[in-house]
Structure 1
Amino acid sequence: MHENTGHILVVDDDDDVLHAAKLFLKQHVGKVDTEKSPRSIPNLLRNNSYDVILLDMNFTEDMSSGREGFFWLEKIQEIDPSLAVVFITAYGDVDKAVSAIKKGATDFVLKPWQNEKLLATVTSAMNLSQSRREIDVLRDQQKTISANIDQHYQDIIGHSAPMMKVFETIEKVAKTDANVLILGKNGTGKELVARALHRRSNRSENVFISVDMGAIQENLFESELFGHTKGSFTDAKEARAGRFEVASGGTLFLDEIGNVPLQLQSKLLTVLESRKVTRVGSNKPVDIDIRLICATNTPIQGMVKDNKFRQDLLYRINTIEIRLPALRERKEDIPLLAQHFLEQYAGKYNKEINKLSEGTLKKLQSYGWPGNVRELRHSVERAVIMTDHNVLQPEDFLLTSLDESEEKMIFDDYNLEEVEKTVIRKALDKHERNISRTAEELGLTRASLYRRMEKYDL
C-alpha cells in the first residue's frame, strides 16, 4: 500500500473510538469515513468504494457475543466479496477471533489498540483487498478474451427441421452431466454443438478442453490424456497434467473418438468408469470431475460390428446421441448461413458488400457441399475477398463440382472389377484420400477398403 492512498470505513458505536481511529489513520491513508450505526453500511457501500472496513464486533444491542458483527460481515460479503473486513472489539476472546476469520474476516484487533499494530493490520488488509480486485479484473479480462476466442462458436445457425431437432436436444441435455456423442460428417459443426452444450451447462464458468483424438500419436496417448511425471520417459523433462486433469470441473470434448486405436480404448474406458487418472510414471490415481462430449465422422456402429470399436466404450460415451445433418440435407439454411458469413467477412476485410443475389443463392442451394458448412464459409470468404461487386454474384463462387446427384461417372467398359476400381478411385479423390470418409461413403469398413486399394494398386 502506498502512503496516503486507500479508502477506509470505521463502524463503531463509540464516538471516542471513531475519533481516535480517524485521527490516527488519516495520516496514513487517503480517506477515512466513520459511522456509528451498522445499518448505514449497505447505503455507504453502494455510494463509495472502500478498501477496508474496520467493524465493531459488539454493538450496544448485543454486548459480547459478536453475533451482530458476524451478521454485518455477511452483509458486506454479499455486497462486495473483495472488501477486506477487520473486526475491532474490546473482548479478546480467541474463539471469536478464529470464528471471525473462518467466516471471512481478514483480521481481528483489540481495543484499546496499539497504533503500530492497527496500521500494520490495516495495511495488510488493504493490500489483500487490492489484490482481490486485481484478480477479479484479470478474471474478467480472461472471460472477455475467452469469449472473443469463442466468438466463432457463439451461434449455430439454422431454422430447418433437422436443425430444430438438434437445438431441442441441446436444450434438453445441456444442464445435465450426461455423456453426449455427436455424429456428423466433417464440416457440419460438431465442435459448435459441443461448445453450445458447455455454454448452456452448469459447468459454463469452467474450462472447455477440446482434444483431436486423431492427432494424438499412439505412443503419446496416455501421456497426452492422463499426464506424466518428470522423468517417466525420455522427453518428460517436467511433470505435466493430462487433458483429463486440466478439464476437471469443466467439459472435455474428445473429437474424432473413432480414431482411437482398439488397444487404447480399454484404457480410456477404465478412466471413464473409475473417474480417476494415473499419470504415466506414477501409481497415485487422481480424481477427475468432467462432463464428457465425444464426436466422430465415422460410422461407429459399423466399427463395433467389425470389432474396431469396443461396444462397452460406445455405451459409456453415448448416453445421448446428437446427429448433425449434412448441409445438403438442410438446404433451406444456406441463405441464412451465407448471409451470416458475408456479414462476418465483409466486416473483417472492410468491404461494402451487403447481400447475395438471387442467382447466387440458387447456385449455392443447387450445389452438394461435400465439405458442408465449413466449405460454405470458406467459399463466402473467398468470394468476399475476390469480388468487385457490392452484391455477391454467381461468378464470384468457383464451386469445385456439381451436386453429387448430377455428377456423371463414365466407364471405359462394364467389367465389374474395373467399375469397382473406378468408383473407389473417384471416392478417394473426392475425400482427398481420407480413408475413414471414403470407407463411409462406399459402405465399407476401413479394413475392406484397404484390401481393395491393395488389390487395385490404389
Structure 2
Amino acid sequence: MIAANILIIDDDRDVLETARMFLKQEFTNIQIEENPERIPTLVRSNEYDVILLDMNFKKGVNDGEAGFYWLNQILTYDSQAVVILITAYGEVDLAVKAMKNGAVDFILKPWKNQKLLGTILSAIQLRKSKKEVEKLKVTQEKLADAMDLPFQDFIGGSAAIERVHEIIDRVASTDANVLILGENGTGKELVARELHRKSQRKSNVFISVDLGSITETLFESELFGHVKGAFTDAKHDKPGRFEIASGGTIFLDEIGNLTLPLQSKLLTVLQNRKVQRVGSNVAIPIDFRLICATNMPLHEMVYEKNFRQDLLYRINTVEIRVPPLRERAEDLPLLLDFFLQRYTLKYKRPGIRIDKSIINKLQKYPWPGNIRELQHAVERAVILCDSKVIQSSELLLTTTRPLPKKDNHPVTLDDMEKQFIQQSLQDHNGNVSTTARTLGMTRTALYRRMKKHGLH
C-alpha cells in the first residue's frame, strides 16, 4: 500500500465506485465525491496528494466549462495541488487546454486500470517534488535571514549616516551597479546587504566574495567555475560565484586588490553578462546585481594606471562613501550601547554599563579600525571588567591606544596608522595573525597596510 490521500470528483456514481474499488488496493486513502459544490470545503480541510476531477457535471453538457471553473477553484485554495482531469475521447482538446491552466495530466473514460495507476503514481511523485521545492525555498529564505542577522543593525543617526541611508533608499530598487568606498571596519558589507534587502532581488541569493582572499591562480575557478578535468583537482563540475548569484546579488569586496590581468577578465564578464567555466567553451548567461567595495583610492589608482578606467566606469554607476567612525563621533554612544547589550548577553554578564564620564574621551579617539575596532574593544571590556561599571577608557583601549606624536610635531593620519600598526605588532611579538585579529581586520588587509608603510 502506498501512503497517499486521493480525492475523486465525478457526478457519475458508477465511475466513482469503480475507481475507488481499484485504487483502494494500491493507496491508503481514497475519497470520492459526487457534488462539486463541496470542493472548497474539502480542499480547505484536507491535504490531497492527487485530485481526479471530471470535466463536466451536467448531462448533455460537454463544453468543459465546469471543469475549468472547479480546476481554478482548487488551485485558488491550494496553488500546489496536483489535478488530473477525467474526460471523454471527444474532450481531449479541452483537457489539453485545461493543462495549460494548471492541470498536470488527464485520463480518458473508460480507462485502463494500469494506465490510471501509472498516471496517479507520476502525479504523486510530482506533488512530492513540489512540496520539497517549497520546503527548500522556505529553508533557503530562513537560512538567508539567519546569515543576515549579524548585518541587520546599521546603527547611527548622524547626518553622515543619514546620507548613506538616503542613497540606499534611492538606489536599492534599481539594478544600478554600486561601488561602496570606505576604510576597513566602517560597515561596507552592511551597506551592500541593505541594498540587497531593499531590492527587487531580495528573495534570491546574496553572494559575498572577498577578492582579497582569492589567489590569482584560483580566481577564474572560484568566480567563473570549472568543468570536471579542467585541472588536477577538478574532480567534478563546479559552478562559480557568478553562476550561483544569478538572479540575485553578487558583492565583490576588496575589488581594489585585483591585478590588471584579473581586472580585464572581470570586465569581460561584466560587459557580456556571460561566464565560461574553466575548461569549457560554453558561454553561460548570468543575471545579477553587482555591488563592489574597497578601502583603496580607485580614482587615484586609475591615474597611476593600477586600475582600469573602463572597469571603474562599469562598477560605479552609483558611489556610496561610508564615513569612518571619527567623522560620526555623535553615533558612538548608540554604538557602545548596542555592542554592550550584545556582549553582556553573550558572556552572561548582565548589568554592566559604561561610565558616561569616559564617553567624551572615547569620542575624541580616532578609532583607526572603525566600527570593528569599537566592537572588539567593547567585547574585551565586558570580559575583563571586574565590576558593574566600565570606568576607565584604558579598559576599552588597552591594545588600541593612540600613539604619541614624535617631537610634538603634527602627524598625518598615515603617520598615525603606521605608528599604530608598529606598536600593535610589538605588543604581539610580531605575530601578524594575532595583531590582525586585535585590530579587527583580515591578515590580507594588515599585510597590505604593512607593505604600504614599509613594515614588512
Q: In which range does the TM-score fall when normalised by the shorter chain? A: 0.7 to 0.9
CA deviations over 1:342-386 (Å, ceiling 9, x no partner) = 222233233323643323544433322111111111122222233
Is 295-304 or 89-98 further displaced after alignment? 89-98
SS of 1:53's equivalent in the other structure is strand
Distance in 2 (CA, whole Å) between partners of 1:77 and 1:270 is 45
Contact 2:399 2:424 in 1 (8 A): no
Distance in 2 (CA, whole Å) between partners of 1:452 and 1:390 is 41
- Equivalent residue number for residue 439 of structure 1: none
97 and 284 in structure 1: CA distance in 2 versus 1, 3 angstrom threshold: same
Distance in 2 (CA, whole Å) between partners of 1:126 and 1:11 is 17
Deviation, structure 1 residue 209: 1.1
Deviation, structure 1 residue 288: 1.1
Contact 1:64 1:91 in 2 (8 A): no
Distance in 1 (CA, whole Å) between partners of 2:453 and 2:118 is 81
Contact 2:6 2:29 in 1 (8 A): yes
158 and 450 in structure 1: CA distance in 2 versus 1, 3 angstrom threshold: closer
Deviation, structure 1 residue 84: 1.3
SS of 1:245's equivalent in the other structure is helix
Distance in 2 (CA, whole Å) between partners of 1:116 and 1:18 is 17
Is 25-34 or 127-136 further displaced after alignment? 25-34
Equivalent of 1:121, from 114, 119, 122? Answer: 119
Q: What is the TM-score normalised by the length of structure 1?
A: 0.84
- Equivalent residue number for residue 247 of structure 2: 249
- Equivalent residue number for residue 444 of structure 2: none
- Equivalent residue number for residue 440 of structure 2: none
Distance in 1 (CA, whole Å) between partners of 2:350 and 2:452 is 53
1:287-436 to 2 correspondence within 5 Å? 287-353=285-351, 355-394=353-392, 396-402=395-401, 408-411=404-407, 426=419, 429=422
1:44 aligns with 2:42: yes
- Residue type matched to 1:366 in 2? K
- Equivalent residue number for residue 230 of structure 1: 228
1:211-290 to 2 correspondence within 5 Å? 211-290=209-288
Distance in 2 (CA, whole Å) between partners of 1:48 and 1:282 is 50
- Residue type matched to 1:113 in 2? W
Distance in 2 (CA, whole Å) between partners of 1:430 and 1:248 is 45
- Equivalent residue number for residue 443 of structure 2: none
1:82-97 to 2 correspondence within 5 Å? 82-91=80-89, 93-97=91-95
Is 45-54 or 164-173 further displaced after alignment? 45-54
Could you tell me which runs of 5 or more consecutive residues in structure 1 were left unpaired when the two chains were aligned. 435-445
Query: May I ask how many residue pairs the two structures share in their alignment?
Result: 435
SS of 1:294's equivalent in the other structure is strand
Contact 2:248 2:289 in 1 (8 A): yes
Equivalent of 1:133, from 125, 131, 134? Answer: 131
Distance in 1 (CA, whole Å) between partners of 2:93 and 2:218 is 53
- Equivalent residue number for residue 441 of structure 2: none
- Residue type matched to 2:10 in 1? D
SS of 2:368's equivalent in the other structure is coil
Is 34-43 or 236-245 further displaced after alignment? 34-43
85 and 424 in structure 1: CA distance in 2 versus 1, 3 angstrom threshold: closer
Is 421-430 or 259-268 further displaced after alignment? 421-430
- Residue type matched to 1:397 in 2? L
Deviation, structure 1 residue 57: 1.7
Distance in 2 (CA, whole Å) between partners of 1:422 and 1:326 is 17
- Residue type matched to 2:422 in 1? D
SS of 1:246's equivalent in the other structure is helix
1:126-165 to 2 correspondence within 5 Å? 126-165=124-163
Deviation, structure 1 residue 29: 4.0
Distance in 1 (CA, whole Å) between partners of 2:338 and 2:36 is 55
Deviation, structure 1 residue 129: 1.8
SS of 1:6's equivalent in the other structure is strand
Is 312-321 or 8-17 further displaced after alignment? 8-17
Contact 1:92 1:110 in 2 (8 A): no
Deviation, structure 1 residue 93: 4.5
- Equivalent residue number for residue 442 of structure 1: none
Contact 2:352 2:387 in 1 (8 A): no
CA deviations over 1:220-261 (Å, ceiling 9, x no partner) = 222222222333334333332222122111111110111111
66 and 346 in structure 1: CA distance in 2 versus 1, 3 angstrom threshold: farther
CA deviations over 1:9-43 (Å, ceiling 9, x no partner) = 22223344344444554555444444444444334
- Once superposed, what is the RMSD of the aligned Cα atoms? 3.4
Distance in 2 (CA, whole Å) between partners of 1:231 and 1:337 is 50
- Equivalent residue number for residue 199 of structure 1: 197
Could you tell me which runs of 5 or more consecutive residues in structure 2 were left unpaired when the two chains were aligned. 426-431, 436-446
1:187 aligns with 2:180: no
Contact 2:368 2:417 in 1 (8 A): no
- Residue type matched to 1:63 in 2? V
145 and 398 in structure 1: CA distance in 2 versus 1, 3 angstrom threshold: same
Is 308-317 or 138-147 further displaced after alignment? 138-147
- Residue type matched to 1:410 in 2? K
Deviation, structure 1 residue 162: 0.9
247 and 310 in structure 1: CA distance in 2 versus 1, 3 angstrom threshold: same
- Equivalent residue number for residue 440 of structure 1: none
Deviation, structure 1 residue 79: 2.9
Identity between Structure 1 and Structure 2 (%) = 53
22 and 199 in structure 1: CA distance in 2 versus 1, 3 angstrom threshold: same
Deviation, structure 1 residue 451: 9.7
- Equivalent residue number for residue 210 of structure 1: 208
Distance in 2 (CA, whole Å) between partners of 1:21 and 1:326 is 73
Distance in 2 (CA, whole Å) between partners of 1:376 and 1:387 is 16
Q: What is the TM-score normalised by the length of structure 2?
A: 0.84
Deviation, structure 1 residue 452: 8.4
SS of 1:389's equivalent in the other structure is coil
- Residue type matched to 1:12 in 2? D
